[in-house]
Amino acid sequence: MGELIKDGLRIDGRKPDELRPIKIEAGVLYRADGSAYVEWGGNKVLAAVYGPRELLPKHMQDPTKAVVNARYNMASFSVEDRKRPGPDRRSIEISKVTSEALESVIFTELFPRAVIDINIEILDAEAGTRCAGITAAAVALADAGIPMRDIPAACAAGKVDGQVVLDLRKEEDQEGEADLPIAIAPRTEEILLLQMDGHLTYKEFEEALELAIKGSKYVSKLQKEALRRKYKKVEEE
Ligand code: CDP
């Protein structure tokens, strides 16, 4: 303790309630129906959406709605020790919670028997990749024209050196006391994903949740700006 916050500032000079720099670009892939690229601190994430299209094999289809299938994948070169390619427990878990978070805003009943595939590729990882992945996937879904109640946005808060802070970087995630990633539907502040690693008192939890919602709302602004930029460019062409 006492290494991560000095004179009220964090190791990268951020205030407790400050996000890392975030850049979002919509529509970066030609082949995908929708796509987005996100740089978030040291994270680099690409999301590609395909569909809605017929789900095959047929016995996997749901006659009442589309299946939302998000696949989170870390490139083997995205982390310090080479990651063994392919799904592991962690990426299966993140794929599941991401699929559920995104499905809850998509009007899936409009596309019976279909699948919406969402590929999230982590090219560079520096903590907070599930939030960056959901943020990229949401922009890619909007770029693909998938009808949604809202465009989800995600952000984590946590606790380091006894203090509640926004958007943990790698060292804070590793040495800190808690990490609380969330995803919300920004219009209503409905929680679409909430996970917690570590320990928080109830008061700290409330404080961290409020901070993560504030962070997600700022991320939501950046997502909408990215989508507006993309459509402005299309209009000009
Ligand atoms: O990335 P996120 O914070 O959503 O998930 P995590 O499981 O809390 O992982 C935190 C960080 O640990 C990742 O962002 C990576 O930087 C790192 N990590 C790694 O170095 N090697 C792995 N196999 C998995 C994660």
- Give Dmax over CA atoms of the chain in angstroms: 60
CB neighbour list of residue 221: distance below 8 Å, 6 or more residues apart: none
Task: Check residue 74 and give its pLDDT.
Answer: 98
Distance between CA atoms of 191 and 218, rounded to whole angstroms? 15
Of the chain, the end-to-end C-alpha distance in Å amounts to 54
Q: Between 196 and 235, whose confidence is greater?
A: 196
41 alpha carbon – ligand 1 mean position (Å):
13
Model pLDDT for residues 79-98, shown as the tens digit of each residue: 999 999 999 999 999 999 99
Crossing angle for the helix pair 89-103 and 129-143, to the nearest 10 degrees:
40
Element (H, E) at 81: none
Question: Which residues are near ligand 1 (CB < 6 Å)?
Answer: 79-80, 83, 90, 125-130, 170, 173, 179, 181
Percent pLDDT > 70 in the chain is 99
Helix (H), strand (E) at residue 190 = strand 190-194
Reported as a single tens digit per residue, the pLDDT across 13-24 is: 999 999 999 999
Pocket test residue of 121, 167, 173, 182 for ligand 1, highest count of atoms within 8 A of CB? 173
By alpha-carbon position, which residue is closest to atom 16 of ligand 1? 126
Question: How far, in Å, CA of 77 to CA of 83, rounded?
Answer: 7
How many angstroms from the chain centroid is the CA of residue 118?
Answer: 12
Evaluate if residue 2 carries a pLDDT over 80: no
Q: Closest Cα to atom 11, ligand 1: which residue?
A: 127
> Is-above-0.85 flag for pTM?
yes
Atom of ligand 1 nearest to the CA of 42: 16
Look up residue 43 and give its two tokens: 């994270």
Residue nearest to atom 19 of ligand 1 (CA): 79
What's the confidence (pLDDT) of residue 234?
A: 82
Question: How much is the average pLDDT of 166-173?
Answer: 98
Alpha helices in the chain (DSSP H): 89-103, 129-143, 170-175, 202-236
* Domain spanning 13-236, CATH architecture: 2-Layer Sandwich (3.30)
- Span 99-116, average pLDDT: 98
Distance, in Å, from the CA atom of 109 to the CA atom of 191, rounded to the nearest integer, reads 21
Tens of pLDDT, residues 111-161: 999 999 999 999 999 999 999 999 999 999 999 999 999 999 999 999 999
Which residues in 112-189 belong to E strands, given as ranges? 114-124, 153-160, 163-166, 178-185
Closest residue by CA, ligand 1 atom 6: 127
Task: Quote the pLDDT of residue 1.
Answer: 57
79 CA to centre of ligand 1 in angstroms: 8
